[in-house]
């Protein structure tokens, strides 16, 4: 067996891949060859580490040195300095370049505050190699379940762990498994919802790319627990890397006899299939997802009957999302007590968030439940760029709402988020600073919902459209007295009347921004002003007569000739009726005499 003294892990998740991590990897292999290090240093293609905005990321073990934004040209230096001579290439280290000593992944703030359970193997193992998964205790939980536990014990253990669904509303997972187990039928199914669709969310993709076997293992465990021998993973076709690795994982598991007939001689059969989704947001809703797996138009249907009773092809079906499954093997191995130590009273364990927006470290973080927003933003996320003020965080995607700065110290868990008018959702978190207009944010999410509504029930199909029309009107400066009340009334009734969870939660971004930022709405409607200075139609571009040196550059560059004045003869003036608010004059003015008001 080949023994390597060092492993270089190159992140080949979607984020890093799009930053040419594959080319970096090829260059690395080439350089190692040239330096005859190929037998000493092993290159491993791995899944996402979470720090996507700094990609491509590579980590050199055993030290755990993390290099960020590695370009192909940098590889030679890493090989000749670090791998050959043991000298860390400081300029490529992640984080502050002036920091002294080894910057190991464990020492970086971004990782130090995290608790990685679902992401435990992401960025550490080669997701295309089942042996590496096995080495890190992979399939040990399946073995334990198959050889030492009865199905009822598995469900009991899961119930004791108090694990809740990570895909949305946080339904107790153990209870869900119990319902499916108790349903009587010859044929049952286990399904995995990998149809991650919230804008900006990529938690599930990262798990599937970085640790696909954890899902395969968990689904097999679920199959055993509820008495199913067949599973489907519904994954969106826009995740080609995840699909490829999942396929490979299933093949490898079959080869090893960890899927298929009579697994490990225990008499248990379980088979998995992948179903590709076409990227309709609504197919993340459980009944729509199952309908889509059946090959029909993906649309929700009323419940009851619940999928645990009547799911795929009318048979009892268990459906969990990727992150929920990823938690199962560690819970089985470490016991429910271990898991319940982490988190808050009613929300145990950790949650993975895709943090984005106005924050320094955008990326993927896994934090214990109960971590405050402040810790996420300032300790893990590195704060708000350009010294701006934190205004609000949006969680739960188009189904969620915002948490204003006044609640920054609230511990994040299922229940506190709901109390605040938002929800956990699948884990998208968008940070907004003082320049973000909350009306516009609500409009953005509603635009998404309108596009993604399946069109089955009128409250969602027409109602969200009407809400968007009102919001468009308000942000365009055409709001009228009564519009806000109309929005509220529509929101309330859509929530009450829509058929599925997506429709029922579609008004949340509006309701939540109305709750905390009603004054901003009112300013738009009554004063025709956007307090955040973001809604184009509500801004006037003005030249400060005191500062203007009448150079005339602005007038020359203005695409619509909206600026008048004569060179060297006193300040120029913007004719508001002509101005299209493109911002060119602000950019061009050498004296910063022009501003938006």
Partner 1 sequence: MKSIAELEEIRKKTLEEIGLRKNKDGYRIVVGMATCGIAAGARPVMQAFVEELKKRNLHDVQVTMTGCIGVCRLEPIVEVISPDGSKVTYVEMTPEKAVRVVAEHIVNGRVCRDLTIGEAEGVK
Partner 2 sequence: MEMVTVTIDNKKVRVPKDYTVLQAAREANIEIPTLCFLKDINEIGACRMCLVEIKGGKKLEAACVYPVSDGMEVYTQTPQVREARKTTLELILSNHDRNCLTCVRSGNCELQKLAEKLQIEELPYEGETYKRPLDNFSPAIVRDPNKCILCRRCVSMCKNVQTVAVIDVVERGFDTIVSPIYEKSLNEVPCVNCGQCITICPVGALREKNDTEKAWTALADKDLHVIAITAPAIRAALGEEFGFPMGTPVTSNMITALHNLGFDKVFDVDTAADLTIMEEGTELLHRLKNGGKLPLITSCSPGWIKFCEHNFPEFLDNLSTCKSPQQMFGAVLKTVYAERMGIDPAKIFVVSIMPCTAKKFEITRPEMTSSGYPDIDVVLTTRELARMIKEAGLDFTETTWEHFDDPMGDASGAGVIFGATGGVMEAALRTVVEILTGKPLETLDFAAVRGVEGIKEATVDVGEMKIKAAVAHGLGNARELLERVKAGEAEYHFIEIMACPGGCVAGGGQPIQPSQVRSWVDIRSERAKALYEEDKNLPIRKSHENPTVKRLYEIYFGSPGSDKAHKLLHTHYTPRENYPEE
Q: Which residues bind partner 1 (CB under 8 A)?
A: 1-7, 9, 40, 61-64, 82-88, 106, 124-125, 131-132, 134-137, 139-140, 143, 147, 256-258, 264-265
In terms of CB distance, is 272 or 490 closer to partner 2?
Answer: 490
Cβ atoms 426, 201 nearer than 8 A: yes
In terms of CB distance, is 34 or 451 closer to partner 2?
Answer: 451
Q: Which of 442, 194, 202 is nearest to 319 (CA)?
A: 194
Q: Least distance to partner 1 from the beta carbon of 72, Å?
A: 23
DSSP string, 488-511: HHHHHHHHHH-SSHHHHHTTHHHH
Residue 386 interaction partner, one of partner 1, partner 2, none, beta carbon < 5-8 Å per kind? none
Bridge partners of residue 39, in order along the sequence: none
Side-chain-facing half-sphere of 484: CA atoms under 13 Å: 16
C-beta atoms surrounding 338 within 10 Å: 14
Contact pattern from residue 484 through residue 523 relative to partner 2, giving x for each residue in contact according to CB under 8 A and a dash for the rest: --x--xx--xx-xxxx----x-------------------
580 Cβ partners below 8 Å, 6+ apart?
A: 559, 560, 562
Residue 451 interaction partner, one of partner 2, partner 1, none, beta carbon < 5-8 Å per kind? partner 2
Sheet with 65-67, edge to edge strand ranges: 41-46, 6-11, 58-61, 65-67
Q: Which of 120, 112, 102 is nearest to 65 (CA)?
A: 102
Q: For residues 400-459, which are near partner 2 according to CB under 8 A?
A: 450-459
Residue 520 interaction partner, one of partner 1, partner 2, none, beta carbon < 5-8 Å per kind? none
In terms of CB distance, is 103 or 443 closer to partner 2?
Answer: 443
Residue 63 interaction partner, one of partner 2, partner 1, none, beta carbon < 5-8 Å per kind? partner 1
Candidate list 26, 388, 466, 515; residue touching partner 2; CB under 8 A: 466
SS (H, E, C) 323-374: HHHHHHHHHHHHHHHHHHCCECCCCECEEEEEEEECCCCCEEEEEECCCEHH
Q: Least distance to partner 2 from the beta carbon of 451, Å?
A: 6
448 vs 456: CA distance, rounded Å: 17
In terms of CB distance, is 61 or 378 closer to partner 1?
Answer: 61
530 vs 474: CA distance, rounded Å: 10
Instruction: Tell me the CA distances in angstroms from 562 to 176, 556, 586, one per residue in order.
Output: 63, 10, 13
481 vs 492: CA distance, rounded Å: 19
Residue 454 interaction partner, one of partner 1, partner 2, none, beta carbon < 5-8 Å per kind? partner 2
Residue 499 interaction partner, one of partner 1, partner 2, none, beta carbon < 5-8 Å per kind? partner 2
In terms of CB distance, is 450 or 558 closer to partner 2?
Answer: 450
Question: Counting Cβ atoms within 10 Å, is residue 258 exposed (0-12), middle (13-18) or buried (19+)?
Answer: buried
Stretch that binds partner 2, among 72-80, 216-224, 463-471, 586-594 (CB under 8 A): 463-471
Q: Is the peptide bond between 56 and the residue preceding it cis, with omega within 30 degrees of 0?
A: yes
C-beta atoms surrounding 108 within 10 Å: 21
Q: Least distance to partner 2 from the beta carbon of 536, Å?
A: 22
Residue 450 interaction partner, one of partner 2, partner 1, none, beta carbon < 5-8 Å per kind? partner 2
In terms of CB distance, is 427 or 459 closer to partner 2?
Answer: 459
Residue 118 interaction partner, one of partner 1, partner 2, none, beta carbon < 5-8 Å per kind? none
In terms of CB distance, is 131 or 469 closer to partner 1?
Answer: 131
Residues in the chain: 597
Under the criterion CB under 8 A, does residue 278 sit at the interface with partner 2?
Answer: no
564 vs 576: CA distance, rounded Å: 11
In terms of CB distance, is 64 or 571 closer to partner 1?
Answer: 64
Q: Least distance to partner 2 from the beta carbon of 189, Å?
A: 22
Q: Least distance to partner 1 from the beta carbon of 131, Å?
A: 4
Residue 302 interaction partner, one of partner 2, partner 1, none, beta carbon < 5-8 Å per kind? partner 2
C-beta atoms surrounding 582 within 10 Å: 15
Residue 140 interaction partner, one of partner 1, partner 2, none, beta carbon < 5-8 Å per kind? partner 1
The tokens describing 79, both together, are 């090989």
Q: Least distance to partner 1 from the beta carbon of 242, Å?
A: 22
First vs last Cα of the chain: how many Å apart?
70
In terms of CB distance, is 44 or 523 closer to partner 1?
Answer: 44
In terms of CB distance, is 88 or 282 closer to partner 2?
Answer: 282
Residue written as token pair 């933003």? 377
In terms of CB distance, is 23 or 40 closer to partner 1?
Answer: 40
287 vs 290: CA distance, rounded Å: 5
Q: Least distance to partner 2 from the beta carbon of 488, Å?
A: 12
Bridge partners of residue 235, in order along the sequence: 194, 276
In terms of CB distance, is 255 or 451 closer to partner 2?
Answer: 451
Residue 12 interaction partner, one of partner 2, partner 1, none, beta carbon < 5-8 Å per kind? none
Coil, strand, or helix at residue 406? helix
212 vs 130: CA distance, rounded Å: 9
**Residues binding partner 2: what is the number (CB under 8 A)?**
33
- Using CB under 8 A, list all residues that contact partner 2: 280, 282, 297, 299, 301-302, 304, 450-459, 461-463, 465-466, 469, 486, 489-490, 493-494, 496-499, 504
């Amino acid at each position: 067996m080949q023994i390597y003294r060092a492993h270089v892990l190159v992140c080949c998740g979607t984020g890093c891949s799009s930053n040419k991590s594959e080319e970096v990897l090829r260059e690395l292999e080439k350089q190692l060859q040239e330096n005859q290090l190929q037998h000493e240093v092993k290159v491993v293609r791995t899944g996402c580490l979470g720090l996507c905005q700094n990609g491509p990321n590579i980590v050199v073990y055993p030290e755990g040195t993390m290099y960020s934004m590695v370009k192909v040209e940098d590889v030679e230096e890493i090989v000749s300095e670090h791998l050959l001579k043991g000298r860390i290439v400081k300029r490529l280290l992640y984080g502050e370049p002036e920091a002294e000593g080894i910057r190991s992944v464990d020492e970086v703030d971004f990782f130090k505050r995290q608790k990685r359970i679902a992401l435990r193997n992401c960025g550490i193992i080669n997701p295309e190699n089942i042996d590496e998964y096995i080495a890190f205790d992979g399939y040990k939980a399946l073995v334990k379940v198959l050889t030492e536990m009865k199905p009822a014990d598995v469900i009991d253990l899961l119930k004791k762990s108090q694990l809740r669904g990570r895909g949305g509303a946080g339904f107790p997972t153990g209870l869900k498994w119990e319902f499916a187990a108790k349903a009587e039928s010859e044929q049952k199914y286990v399904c995995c919802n990998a149809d991650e669709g919230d804008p900006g969310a990529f938690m599930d993709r990262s798990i599937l790319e970085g640790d696909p076997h954890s899902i395969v293992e968990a689904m097999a465990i679920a199959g055993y627990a509820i008495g199913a021998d067949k599973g489907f993973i519904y994954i969106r076709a826009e995740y080609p890397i995840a699909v490829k690795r999942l396929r490979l994982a299933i093949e490898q598991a079959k080869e090893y006899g960890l899927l298929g007939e009579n697994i490990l001689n225990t008499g248990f059969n379980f088979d998995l299939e992948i179903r590709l989704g076409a990227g309709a947001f609504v197919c993340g809703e459980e009944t729509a997802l199952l309908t889509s797996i059946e090959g029909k138009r993906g649309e929700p249907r009323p419940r009851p009957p619940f999928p645990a009773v009547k799911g795929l092809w009318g048979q009892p079906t268990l459906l969990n999302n990727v992150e929920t499954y990823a938690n199962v093997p560690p819970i089985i191995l470490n016991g429910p007590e271990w898991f319940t130590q982490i988190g808050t009273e009613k929300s145990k364990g950790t949650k993975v968030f895709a943090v984005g927006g106005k924050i320094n470290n955008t990326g993927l973080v896994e934090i214990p439940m109960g971590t405050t927003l402040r810790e996420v933003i300032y300790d893990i996320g590195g704060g708000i760029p350009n010294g701006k003020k934190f205004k609000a965080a949006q969680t739960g995607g188009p189904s969620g709402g915002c948490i204003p700065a006044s609640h920054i110290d609230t511990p994040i868990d299922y229940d506190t988020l709901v109390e605040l008018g938002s929800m956990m959702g699948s884990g998208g978190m968008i940070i907004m600073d003082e320049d973000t207009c909350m009306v516009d944010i609500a409009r953005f999410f509603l635009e998404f919902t309108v596009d993604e509504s399946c069109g089955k029930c009128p409250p969602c199909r027409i109602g969200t459209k009407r809400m968007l029309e009102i919001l468009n009107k308000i942000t365009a400066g055409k709001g009228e007295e009564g519009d806000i009340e109309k929005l509220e009334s529509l929101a309330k009734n859509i929530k009450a009347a829509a058929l599925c969870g997506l429709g029922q939660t579609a008004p949340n971004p509006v309701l939540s921004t109305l709750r905390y930022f009603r004054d901003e709405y009112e300013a738009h409607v009554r004063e025709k002003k956007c307090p955040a200075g973001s809604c184009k139609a509500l801004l006037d571009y003005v030249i400060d007569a005191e500062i203007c040196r009448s150079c005339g550059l602005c007038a020359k560059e203005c695409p619509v000739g909206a600026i008048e004045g004569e060179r060297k003869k006193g300040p120029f003036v913007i004719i508001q009726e002509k101005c299209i608010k493109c911002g060119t004059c602000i950019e061009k003015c050498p004296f910063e005499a022009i501003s938006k008001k």
